[in-house]
């Protein structure tokens, strides 16, 4: 396992706004190995767990982020995914697991034992042991075309799973991203939002499709460049801030992949 110990500094100051080539789903597989421009060291699985345990002893908050290709870094690169940049900005310990092609229903393109759907990614995150203050699930685009009733059941299952494993955690869902074609996307998006609010009215909904997000994209017209990923991270941070989620005081956090078991 590779982890990066990073300072709690602004992601906008760390990552350059450089363009990235288009990357197909098969170009990145999860879980994401997080690499930092501030340094890279292989401390192994135990090192990751010990780093997070030390953070717990010091009162440092933790976030678990699971998702699909945006979380895996398709387009921007794994180390520049919105999820990694958000964790760096918060200065929290973070477990990040992104599987291209995964949804609440779709399994995605991860390697065997490291695929979706979101319930499988949440299981790998080890929420009961991690006890995060915040859990973010990014999914929806890859479920376009799934029957709304099935989509709602799977979203409800994911929210219920988080509630059972990490009852004190805030939950945020990052839903469908706008692509070149919105055909079927709105129906999937509405199903996710309705199911999440029915399962837990306190869930924070972050809805790129409904809000008409515009960010720099690679040639596929969907995935973000490095600059686009930074824009998404900033937007998510702003919405979380509106819901009372604040960055930690200046210090260090541990960011690792989700394969803790």
pLDDT average, residue stretch 206-212 = 97
pLDDT digits (tens, 9 = 90+) for 89-148: 888 888 999 999 999 999 998 788 889 999 999 999 999 999 999 999 999 999 999 999
pLDDT average, residue stretch 62-87 = 94
**Minimal CA–CA distance to 70: which of 199, 212, 179?**
179
Residue 45 clears pLDDT 50, i.e. is over it: no
Inter-residue contact 144 to 155 (CB < 8 Å): no
- Domain locations in the chain as residue ranges: 4-9+20-257
Distance linking the first and last C-alpha atoms of the chain? 11
pLDDT average, residue stretch 160-187 = 94
Q: Return all residues near 110 (Cβ < 8 A) that are at least 6 apart.
A: 29, 30, 31, 99, 100, 102, 116
What are the tokens at 243?
């819901």
Select from 3.30.450.40, 2.10.70.10, 3.40.50.1110, 3.50.50.60 the CATH code of 4-9+20-257. Answer: 3.40.50.1110
- Mean pLDDT over each residue of the chain, to the nearest integer: 79
- The distance from CA 104 to its chain's CA centroid, rounded to whole angstroms, is 13
Q: What is the pLDDT of residue 161?
A: 98
């Amino acid at each position: 396992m590779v982890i990066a110990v990073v300072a709690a500094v602004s992601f906008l100051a760390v990552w350059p706004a450089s363009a990235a080539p288009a990357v197909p789903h098969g170009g990145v597989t999860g879980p994401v190995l997080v690499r930092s421009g501030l340094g890279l060291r292989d401390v192994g699985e135990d090192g990751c767990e010990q780093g997070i345990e030390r953070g717990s002893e010091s009162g440092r908050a933790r976030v678990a982020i699971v998702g699909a290709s945006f979380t895996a870094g398709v387009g921007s690169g794994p180390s520049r995914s919105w999820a990694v940049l958000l964790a760096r900005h918060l200065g929290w310990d973070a477990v990040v697991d992104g599987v291209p092609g995964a949804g609440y229903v779709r399994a995605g393109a991860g390697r065997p034992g490291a695929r979706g759907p979101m319930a499988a990614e949440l299981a790998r995150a080890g929420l009961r042991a991690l006890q995060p203050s915040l859990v973010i699930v990014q999914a929806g685009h890859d479920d376009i075309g799934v029957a709304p009733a099935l989509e709602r059941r799977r979203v409800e299952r994911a929210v219920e799973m988080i509630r059972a494993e990490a009852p004190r955690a805030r939950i945020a869902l990052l839903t469908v991203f706008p692509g070149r074609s919105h055909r079927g996307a709105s129906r999937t998006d509405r199903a996710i939002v309705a199911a999440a609010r029915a399962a837990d009215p306190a869930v924070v909904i972050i809805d790129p499709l409904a809000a008409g997000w515009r960010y720099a994209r690679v040639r596929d017209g969907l995935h973000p460049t490095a600059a686009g990923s930074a824009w998404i991270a900033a937007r998510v941070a702003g919405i979380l801030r509106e819901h009372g989620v604040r960055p930690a005081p200046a210090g260090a956090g541990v960011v690792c992949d989700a394969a803790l078991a």
